[in-house]
């Protein structure tokens, strides 16, 4: 998404930055891991395909992605590649069905009166897991989506085996909507309302949007 191509979001322990070509090699290495492919329901890509995918993330207006930096590592080294630990994504107003739903129509307002975003978070570096980085990163992304992109409803589709992400989104006050044994997924939803925005703002201890300097 071009809207976030020139900014970064600085939190307490993480920094969210745009996905650049210089990051592709490390990202591709992550996504060569069968465990990560399974947890993220992704297909393996060649390095050339990964560069093409990076371009779509930058240019497509319905996709918003940030890479996640360990803030402490980055401030010590000034090396984005070393500090990279994962990514977080929003897919805006996609034609999607809630798994297990009987709806015949995609869960989307065809007149775009309601902005719906599917949210994802991945902490790829094993040593960075279980330290709260994922929760902070997705909180920053949800706040950005709500306050800057006008998202009115968030959804997330999480695999049956991904217990960690299921617990995380429950803590984010997402509610389970349906299950699909075919896709082995659980669909969670969070409507953006006044009470939840207040809760979100209280949860985000630091949030600064700054220019991203290449």
Confidence class for position 114, pLDDT limits 50, 70, 90: confident
* 178-184 long-range contacts, CB within 8 A, separation 24+: 178/98, 178/99, 178/100, 178/101, 179/99, 179/100, 180/99, 180/100, 181/100, 182/99, 183/99, 183/157, 184/159, 184/160
Confidence class for position 108, pLDDT limits 50, 70, 90: very low
* Over residues 16-40, mean pLDDT: 94
Domain that residue 201 falls in: 2-209
Confidence class for position 39, pLDDT limits 50, 70, 90: confident
Give the tens place of pLDDT for each residue, 74-88.
999 999 999 999 999
pLDDT (0 to 100) of residue 2: 86
Average per-residue pLDDT for the chain: 91
pLDDT (0 to 100) of residue 147: 96
* Over residues 28-35, mean pLDDT: 93
Confidence class for position 38, pLDDT limits 50, 70, 90: confident
Query: Torsions phi, psi of 75, nearest 5?
Result: -65, -30
What is the Cα–Cα distance from 127 to 109, expressed in whole angstroms?
Answer: 41
Total of domains in the chain: 1
Q: Taking 70 as the threshold, does the pLDDT of residue 129 lie above it?
A: yes
Give the tens place of pLDDT for each residue, 167-204.
999 999 999 999 999 999 999 999 999 999 999 999 99
| 214 C-beta neighbours (distance < 10 Å), count | 7
* Over residues 38-42, mean pLDDT: 86
Q: Taking 50 as the threshold, does the pLDDT of residue 103 lie above it?
A: no
DSSP 134-149: HHHHHHHHHHHHHHTS
What is the Cα–Cα distance from 189 to 119, expressed in whole angstroms?
Answer: 10
CATH number at residue 86: 3.40.630.30
Whether residue 214 lies inside any domain: the answer is no
pLDDT (0 to 100) of residue 178: 95
pLDDT (0 to 100) of residue 58: 87
- Asked whether 70 and 10 are in contact (CB, 8 A), the reply is no
Token pair belonging to 200? 């979100």
Whether residue 18 lies inside any domain: the answer is yes
* Over residues 26-53, mean pLDDT: 92
* Over residues 150-167, mean pLDDT: 95
């Amino acid at each position: 998404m071009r809207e976030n191509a020139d900014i970064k979001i600085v939190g307490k322990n993480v920094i969210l930055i745009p996905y650049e070509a210089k990051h592709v090699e490390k990202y591709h290495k992550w996504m060569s891991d069968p465990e990560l492919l399974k947890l993220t329901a992704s297909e393996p890509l060649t390095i050339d395909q990964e560069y093409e995918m990076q371009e779509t993330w930058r240019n497509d207006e319905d996709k918003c992605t940030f890479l996640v930096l360990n803030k402490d590592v980055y401030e010590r080294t000034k090396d984005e590649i070393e500090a990279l630990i994962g990514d977080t994504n929003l897919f805006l107003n996609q034609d999607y069905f809630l798994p297990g739903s009987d709806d015949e129509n995609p869960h989307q307002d065809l007149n775009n009166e309601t902005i719906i975003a599917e949210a994802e978070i991945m902490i790829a570096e094993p040593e960075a897991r279980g330290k709260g980085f994922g929760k902070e990163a997705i909180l920053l992304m949800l706040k950005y989506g709500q306050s800057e992109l006008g998202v009115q409803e968030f959804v997330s589709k999480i695999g049956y085996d991904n217990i960690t992400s299921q617990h995380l989104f429950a803590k984010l006050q997402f509610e389970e909507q349906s299950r699909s044994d075919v896709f082995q997924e659980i669909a969670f939803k969070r409507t953006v309302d006044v009470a939840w925005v207040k809760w979100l703002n209280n949860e985000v201890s630091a949030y600064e949007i700054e220019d991203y300097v290449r």
